[in-house]
Amino acid sequence: MQNLAYGSWPSPIDAALAAAHDGHPEFVGFVGDEAWWTEPRPTEGGRRTLVRRQADGTQEPVLPAPWNVRSRVIEYGGQPWAGEMRPEGPFVVFVNFADQRLYAYEPDAPDARPRPLTPVSPVGGGLRWVDPRLRPEQGEVWCVLEEFTGDGPTDVRRVVAAVPLDGSAAQDRDAVRELTDGSHRFVTGPRLSPDGGQAAWLAWDHPRMPWDGTELILADVTEHGTLRGARPVAGGPEESIAQADWTPDGTLLYASDRTGWWNLYRLGEDTPVCPREEEFGGPLWKIGYRWFAPLESGLVAVVHGRGATALGILDPETGEVVDAAGPWTEFTPTLAVHGSRIVGVAASPRSAYEVVELDARTGRARVIGAGHADPVDPAHYPEPQIRTFTGPAGREVHAHIYPPHHPDHVAPGDELPPYVVWAHGGPTGRAPLVLDLEIAYFTSRGIGVAEVNYGGSAGHGREYRNRLREQWGVVDVEDCAAVALALAEEGTADRHRLAIRGGSAGGWTAAASLTGTDVYACGTILYPVLDLGEWGSGETHDFESQYLETLIGPIAEVPGRYVERSPSERADRITAPFLILQGLDDVICPPAQCERFLARLARSTGRRVPHAYLTFEGEGHGFRRADTMVRALESELSLYAQVFGLRPPGIPTLHLTAREEPVTAPTGSVPPIVESTQ
């Protein structure tokens, strides 16, 4: 072992390697007996392709560049494809990101080319589609239609719609049949009963988010293919139903949090199928998420857990769950079943997300796609610690701690490591316990990472989730600070070398922490919310446009709170160096948020805070392009190096605008390769 100062350890995990492994497979399904899924291509402009695994085990992409299988409904998208096996080969319907049209494609057909099924609209964001379900006997695909009625981000309506598969609607909006009346602001795609006689879907309205309250709607399907007698059968303003699906015998199952935890229920019964204090559902950030899938045998495949998640098989008669054996600590909310086969997406602290198949008969689980292959010696991966800290008022705060780790280097015994607190997005989300090469990028260089699942995070029940109600910018900031200070007080972290970083809602928490506390020496803010008043009054998209009514409070009743908590209104209080990273095409947290924050900082007199603002053309909310991710990671590391006095080898030096030259470590730094701010 060689002694080297923290932050100066040489690492084989460079930014390009981390970027190349960013993203993960998603939205699994079966086409006949073939497993299919979507998969990212960071080096191809961040597009997502469809991948099929044929019966002989061979895998191939279904769609070449530039096809990009991704929906923009509610901006976060959702299930973007559906398929079936026909005598002549597979038939698939998918959403193409560039124009948001639905396309039909038969990949095995001679001279196969996708053909459009839906038209385009020049109004606002146009027409968008998600969560398709094929109805081949009727010659239709049923799905969610999101239609913009004006140029504003909230000039939009959503309905369940039927699109003809013959292409007759490709140039004719009137050929699309609307199956619901648009009385609800948000809907999911319909789930049809085994006999085709009923359809069930979820609906909710402003100002609720789907994890606050949704309704389960049930309707009869007429012989003419219309929906009749739509009525709510479960749910309400304070009950979140995350998913509904039918069992083979025609029973409607749904996941509700009425007891404080998302549990499974049969329609008409008040007792949960498996009454545990853990989650069998989660926040519906994407339309078509699936936490459970009924099997032909009457058993149910479930993604469940408290914090971390597992894939299990639930016997609804006994309430017993048998989990799949394997190393995985996280299963994402996507499942597909075919006979006794169950396919999902899973990861662990030692492996990235991969497509996993479980045989319900034998209990055997195996990787069938996107299999993890160590790009470096796994001895460079961090070893996470699952911990619970004590926050203000004695409340529990959950976190994953990743100490600095290198197989060949340690730091001098009298030195404590720098730590970066990571605040996840959402804020109704959570940090999963999985291998993340961005985390390893820092820990393998001697910088610790603490991922905080602050109050308001998912995975720990409704009471924990509701801690953030009217407390955003308070509880999240306090909980992150509690973890950071506890690490310093116990001698795990250097009190003078603490940083905070976060993206989206995590960017808000980072900015609120830098403008409201003195805990951190610097921070990285990615595509953030910074100005509550403007963000919630027409600057963001429709889905989250009234999120703040819950997170901050009704703006009509507490307008001053929106001003008091906005980092843009407190920019003159910031003293720590910071880096802001922003996509110029972001419609969720637009660049104007950052620009007002920086303008307010510039107006403050007598103080010059070192900072950098990097923008990226062609990037939206969350970076998808490899070159963007490389620059972002290297810039972030350079900020910490300059502020903490680190010497990471081979990292370009970020220029901080408040100084004529980049900040340099007291003991010297890497020869500068100055990157100018945009």
Q: Helix, strand or coil for residue 596? A: helix
Average pLDDT for runs of 10 along the chain of length 678: 96 96 95 98 93 95 97 98 98 98 97 96 96 97 98 97 99 98 98 98 98 99 97 98 98 98 98 98 99 98 98 98 97 98 98 98 96 97 98 98 98 97 98 98 99 98 98 99 99 99 98 98 98 89 97 97 96 96 96 95 82 97 95 98 96 82 35 30
Element containing residue 60 per DSSP (H, E): strand 59-61
Q: Is residue 170 part of a domain?
A: yes
Amino acid 606: pLDDT: 65
What pLDDT score was predicted for residue 536? 81
Bridge partners of 330, per DSSP, are: 347
pLDDT of 1 reads 87
Q: Rounded CA gap, 251 and 559, in Å? A: 47
Q: Could you tell me if residue 493 is inside a domain?
A: yes
Pairing mode of beta strands 292-294, 263-266: unpaired
**Which CATH number fits the domain that encloses residue 563?**
3.40.50.1820
Please name the residue that has the structure tokens 């010497």: 647
Q: What is the pLDDT of residue 604?
A: 81
Q: Would you state the pLDDT for residue 537?
A: 82
DSSP β-bridge partners for residue 578: 523, 611
- Rounded to whole angstroms, how far apart are CA atoms 454 and 551? 14
Q: What does the chain come to in residues?
A: 678
Three-state DSSP state, 560: helix
- Are 489 and 497 in contact by the 8 Å Cβ rule? The answer is no
254 part of a folded domain: no
Identify the domain boundary among 178, 206, 224.
178
What is the amino acid identity at position 52?
A: R
CA distance 632 to 301: 39
How far apart (Å, rounded) are the C-alpha atoms in residues 643 and 547? 35
**Model pLDDT, residue 659:** 46
| 479 belongs to a structural domain | yes
From the list 142, 115, 145, 117, the residue with the least C-alpha distance to 129 is 145
What are the DSSP E strand ranges found in 434-590?
Answer: 448-453, 498-503, 522-526, 578-583
Task: Report how many domains make up the chain.
Answer: 2
Specify if 66 maps to a domain. yes
Q: What's the sign of the alpha-carbon dihedral 167, 171, 174, 177? A: positive
The DSSP letter of residue 543 is T
Confidence at residue 438, expressed as pLDDT on a 0 to 100 scale: 98
Task: Report how far residue 420's alpha carbon sits from residue 423's, in angstroms, rounded to the nearest whole number.
Answer: 10
Domain encompassing residue 410: 376-644
Residue 390 near residue 360 (C-beta atoms within 8 A): no
Three-state SS for 403?
coil
* Cβ contact 592:656 at 8 Å: no
Rounded-to-10 torsion of CA 663, 664, 670, 674: 20
Is the CA virtual torsion 560, 566, 569, 572 positive or negative? positive
178, 198, 224 - which closes a domain: 178
Report the C-alpha gap between 299 and 321 in whole angstroms.
10
C-alpha distances out from residue 85 to 38, 69, 134, 247, 384, Å: 18, 19, 11, 22, 43
- Report the alpha-carbon distance of residue 611 to residue 658 in Å, rounded: 7
Q: Determine the pLDDT at residue 608.
A: 86
**Residue at 237 is within a domain:** no
Structure tokens belonging to residue 482? 């509690």
Task: Establish if 490 belongs to a structural domain.
Answer: yes
User: Which of 171, 159, 168 is closest to 130 using CA atoms?
Assistant: 159
Coil, helix or strand at residue 207? coil
pTM for the whole thing? Answer: 0.94
Q: CA separation (Å) from 255 to 389, 404, 651? A: 30, 39, 48
Q: Is residue 405 part of a domain?
A: yes
User: Which residues lie closer than 8 Å to 147 by C-beta, 6 or more apart?
Assistant: 121, 127, 128, 156, 157, 158, 159
